[in-house]
Amino acid sequence: MTQVFYSSTLFGAMTLAAAMDAGRFGPHTGRRILLVSGNAAIPEITPSLEAAGFASLRPRFDEVWSWNDIVAPLHPSDWKARVIEVPMLGRLLRSHLSLDDGPAELVMESIAVPPARTIAALIRDCPITVYSDGLMSYGPTRDPLPLEISGRITRLLHLDLVPELTPLLLREVGVAPDPLPDAAFRGVLDEMPAPDGLSGEAVILGQYLSALEIVTPEEEAELHSGMLRALAARGHRKVLFKPHPAAGRRHAQQLRQVAGQLGVELSVAGETVPAEICFQALRPELVVGCFSTALMTAHRLFGVPIATMGCDLVLERLAPYENSNRVPVTIVDATVPRLAADGSLGAPPEVDLPALVEAVGFCMQSEAYPELREVAARHIETHGAQARYFKNRRLASVGLVPAPEPPKGRALTRLRRALTR
C-alpha cells in the first residue's frame, strides 16, 4: 500500500509526523512518499522544508520528492493542468513516482488552492485525507471544490489549538474533523534538536504581512518595532525574534537597529527553526505576535503567556472579506491579551467565540454555509454589527442587515444620466 503525502512547510511535516505517531495512517507497511514544495514568491532563495530540522522527520518517509523540481520552471502556486491535459499529466506523474495504478491514500494540506488542488486533480481514484496545521482550519473552505475532489475527502486532521471551536473547513461537504492529540505533536518536538544560540526572556513572532499585501513594508517594520518597544517597557532586556521562514532577513535587520536604540539584546532565530522549538528550549515569559498560529501553540502546548499587537490594523485592511486570514486574526483578536505601547496587557472583551467565528464564516462564504445564517443573525442581533469583525456592506450583501438606501441626490443623478442616454 502506497500513501502520498504533501507538505509545503516544516510545521506541516511536523503535523504529518504527529498524525503518523498517533496511528492516524495505520502501520508503516507500505511506501510513504512525501511531496514537498516551496510556495514563497521566490522559492529559489527561500529555505526549503528539507533544511535544518527535517532530519528527525525524514525516517518516517521512504521517499521525498520536490514538487518544485517536477513542475520547474513554473511556480507551484500558479501552475495547474488544463482539463484536456489532466489524463496525460496524471499518467506521467504516476509513472514518475512509480505509483502503478495509483496510491491507496492521498494526504494534502490547503486542498482548495494549488499546488495541493493540482496534485489532487492529477492523482485520481483514491481517497483524500486533508490535514490542517494552523488556525485556518477553523475558517470556511477558501474556494468551492469540484465534486471529483470533494467527493474523495474522507476526514480532516487538525491540531486542537482552540478546543472550544469545531473547524468550519470542509464542513460544507460533510467531512468530519479529527483532532490530533497534543502529546503526539510534543513527541515530535522532543525528537528535534534545539539549535545553538537561542536566548531571550521574551519572543517576537514575525509574519509576512507585507508580502501578502495586507500592510505596507513600512507598517510591518513599525509593527515589529512597536512590539519590541512594548517589551522593553515591560522590562525585558533579552528578546528573541523569530522571523517567518518566507519573510527573508529584512525584518531582523530593521529590528536590530531599534534594539540598539532601546538597549535591548536581540537574538534572531534561524529562518528554518520552528517557533515551537524556541518555546520548548526557552520557556519565555511572554510571546507576542500579530495573529500567528504559533501564538496558540505557545499557549496550548507549553502554557507560555501570549499577547497580540496589530490585529486591529489587519482586520481593517484585509480584503476581500473572504480573505482566508480573517478567521485566524479574528480568533487571536477575540481571545488573546492585547499588548499596549506602554507594555501593559489588556484583556479582550468577553465574547461567545464559537458564535463569532461561525458568524464571520457565514459572512465570508454564505452560499457554502447557509445553515449558519441563524447563528450569524442571532450574533448580530445580540452584539450588534461590531465594526471590528463585520463590514456593513458585507452584512447587507448576505442579508443580515437592510441594505442602505442610496442618497437621493445620487439616485437623481443616475436617473438623469439614464434618461439622457
Could you give the domains of the chain? 3-191 (3.40.50), 202-346 (3.40.50.1980), 353-397 (no CATH)
**Is the pLDDT assigned to residue 355 strictly greater than 60?**
yes
All residues at 6 or more sequence positions from 43 whose CB lies less than 8 Å from its CB, including other chains? 37, 68, 75, 76
Peptide bond into 73 cis (omega under 30): yes
**Is the pLDDT assigned to residue 362 strictly greater than 80?**
yes
Peptide bond into 320 cis (omega under 30): yes
Q: Categorize the per-residue pLDDT at 67 as very low, low, confident or very high, splitting at 50, 70 and 90.
A: very high
**Is the pLDDT assigned to residue 244 strictly greater than 70?**
yes
pLDDT score, position 406: 62
> Mean pLDDT, to the nearest integer, of 17-34?
96
The pLDDT mean for the chain works out to: 92
Q: What is the pLDDT of residues 88-137, one digit of tens each?
A: 999 999 999 999 877 999 999 999 999 999 999 999 989 999 998 799 99
Count Cβ neighbours within 10 Å for each residue of 85-114 and write b for 16 or more, e otherwise: ebeeebeebbeebebeeebebbbbbbbbeb
d(CA 58, CA 205): 26
> Mean pLDDT, to the nearest integer, of 268-297?
94
pLDDT score, position 267: 95
How many of the other CB atoms lie within 10 Å of CB of 212? 15
pLDDT score, position 42: 78
**Is the pLDDT assigned to residue 305 strictly greater than 90?**
yes
With contact defined as beta carbons under 8 Å apart, do 4 and 107 qualify? yes
**Is the pLDDT assigned to residue 282 strictly greater than 90?**
yes
Q: Categorize the per-residue pLDDT at 39 as very low, low, confident or very high, splitting at 50, 70 and 90.
A: confident
DSSP secondary structure letters along 87-107: HHHHHHHHHHTT-TT--SEEE
d(CA 12, CA 57): 11
Tell the burial category of 279 from Cβ atoms under 10 Å away from its Cβ (0-12, 13-18, 19+): buried
**Is the pLDDT assigned to residue 309 strictly greater than 70?**
yes
- Share above pLDDT 70 across residues of the chain, in percent, rounded to a whole number: 96
Read off the C-alpha cell for 66. Answer: 520536490
Q: What is the pLDDT of residues 320-334, one digit of tens each?
A: 999 999 999 999 999
